[in-house]
């Protein structure tokens, strides 16, 4: 699939994979995000984090999710963008300072809409992996993807 | 449940509800978050957003999720914090600039751990509502919550 031309529902197939670039995560980013959105000691305070469940600083799961979204937006070339209705998210391991993340998105299912013939619902599994290919996040989501407009067929 | 004293697994019961304070969302916050984590026109550009699926600026779902986490941290007084293993998230409607969000968390299930007798898994449904009580996000999550340490029983 050519990443430079916009992709419509018609272009997708089950099993297609999209690999993102990398995001380097450091402690400063983790603390900054957590201070605003997830102010708990295991995300914001290196000293206090040692005595917690995580035994050291870990990124907020929502920070891992937000970075993953950035990586998906950059690597999935859908013409209408990444419009998610929701999904199932899990964090099998904490994301740590100094890790380098990338995302691999795979198409699991494509279902054309019955009520709205211009679109379909695409189920995507997105795995967020660190530099050792350890799984930091699994997200399975349903995305709205439009079909190619009919007047584009002749171009 | 007294919000000022730390809450352990032993203190929780199915049906318990926790209501958060409010978060006022404006367009500046929406654009700032999206520029970093979800750079798509319907989140970052008021003009361009009008011609998209959302017909105007909408917050990234991950922004709604991050704000919800902040509201959960503040309103759920678990002694060990909010430690989530994952969950199911959905965004039934877009969150718009100018909306005021609050979160209501409800305990659905409590299952003591078999392998680790010091803790349990608590299923929580967290609804994120705007000022008209319209549902912007539903998140059902499993949290790790510790039991009260035995040497605390006498205090």
pLDDT for A8-59, tens place per residue? 999 999 999 999 999 999 999 999 999 999 999 999 999 999 988 899 999 9
Helix, strand or coil, per DSSP, at residue B134: coil
Residue B28: pLDDT above 60?
yes
- Judged on CB neighbours under 10 Å (0-12, 13-18, 19+), A126 is buried
Chain-chain contact of A62 with B69 (C-beta, under 8 angstroms): yes
Is the pTM higher than 0.80? The answer reads: yes
At A62, give phi and psi (nearest 5°).
-75, -25
* C-alpha to C-alpha distance for B80 and B145, rounded to whole angstroms: 7
Nearest CA distance, B151 vs chain A (angstrom): 18
Nearest CA distance, B15 vs chain A (angstrom): 23
B36 interfaces chain A, CB cutoff of 8 Å: yes
B77 interfaces chain A, CB cutoff of 8 Å: no
Q: Which residues in chain A have Cβ-Cβ distances shorter than 8 Å to B81?
A: 40-42, 52-53
A90 interfaces chain B, CB cutoff of 8 Å: yes
Q: Can you tell me the mean pLDDT for B79-108?
A: 96
Chain-chain contact of A38 with B73 (C-beta, under 8 angstroms): yes
In a domain, B1, yes or no: no
Confidence of residue A153 (pLDDT cuts 50, 70, 90): low
* C-alpha to C-alpha distance for A127 and A140, rounded to whole angstroms: 9
Range scoring the smallest mean pLDDT among A79-83, B1-5, B123-127: B1-5
Number of domains in chain B: 1
What single-letter DSSP state applies at residue A74?
H
Range scoring the smallest mean pLDDT among A123-127, A148-152, B114-118: A148-152
Nearest CA distance, A48 vs chain B (angstrom): 12
Chain-chain contact of A52 with B86 (C-beta, under 8 angstroms): no
CA distances from B149 to B8, B26, B58, B78, B154 (A): 9, 43, 45, 14, 10
A135 interfaces chain B, CB cutoff of 8 Å: no
Q: Which residues in chain A have Cβ-Cβ distances shorter than 8 Å to B88?
A: 86-89
Which chain A residue's Cα is nearest to B51? A80
- Using left for φ > 0, alpha for ψ between -120 and 50, and beta otherwise, residue B62 falls in alpha
At B78, give phi and psi (nearest 5°).
-65, 135
In a domain, B2, yes or no: no
User: Domain range for residue A99?
Assistant: 9-148
Q: A5-18: b or e for each residue (b if 16 or more CB lie within 10 Å)? A: eebbbebbeeebeb
| CA B28 remoteness from chain centre | 21
In a domain, A78, yes or no: yes
Q: What percentage of chain A reaches a pLDDT higher than 70? A: 94
Q: What is the dihedral of CA B96, B97, B99, B102, to 10 degrees?
A: 80
The rounded mean pLDDT for chain B is 93
A49: CATH = 3.10.129.10
In a domain, A66, yes or no: yes
Q: Looking at the partner chain, which of A81, A82, A86 has a beta carbon nearest the beta carbon of B89?
A: A86
Nearest CA distance, A15 vs chain B (angstrom): 23
Residues 6+ apart with CB under 8 A from B82: A40, B69, B72, B73, B76, B143
In a domain, B120, yes or no: yes
Q: Looking at the partner chain, which of A33, A73, A87 has a beta carbon nearest the beta carbon of B40?
A: A73
Confidence of residue B155 (pLDDT cuts 50, 70, 90): very low
In a domain, A58, yes or no: yes
What ipTM does the predicted assembly reach?
A: 0.93
Contact call for residues A43 and B70 (beta carbons, < 8 A) = no
Residues 6+ apart with CB under 8 A from A8: A78, A79, A145, A146, A147, A148
In a domain, A106, yes or no: yes
């Amino acid at each position: 699939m050519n990443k430079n031309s916009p992709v419509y529902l018609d272009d997708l197939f089950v099993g297609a994979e999209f690999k993102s670039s990398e995001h380097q995560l450091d402690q400063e980013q983790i603390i900054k995000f957590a201070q605003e959105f997830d102010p708990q000691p295991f995300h914001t305070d290196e000293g206090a984090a040692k005595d917690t469940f995580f035994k050291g600083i870990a990124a907020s799961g929502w920070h891992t999710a937000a970075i993953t979204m950035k990586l998906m937006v950059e690597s999935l070339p859908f013409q209408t963008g990444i419009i998610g209705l929701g999904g199932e998210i899990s964090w099998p391991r904490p994301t740590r300072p100094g890790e380098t993340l990338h995302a691999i998105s795979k198409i699991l299912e494509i279902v054309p809409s019955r009520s709205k013939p211009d679109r379909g619902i695409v189920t995507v599994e997105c795995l967020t992996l660190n530099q050792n290919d350890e799984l930091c996040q699994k997200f399975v989501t349903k995305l709205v993807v439009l079909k190619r407009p009919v007047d584009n067929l002749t171009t």
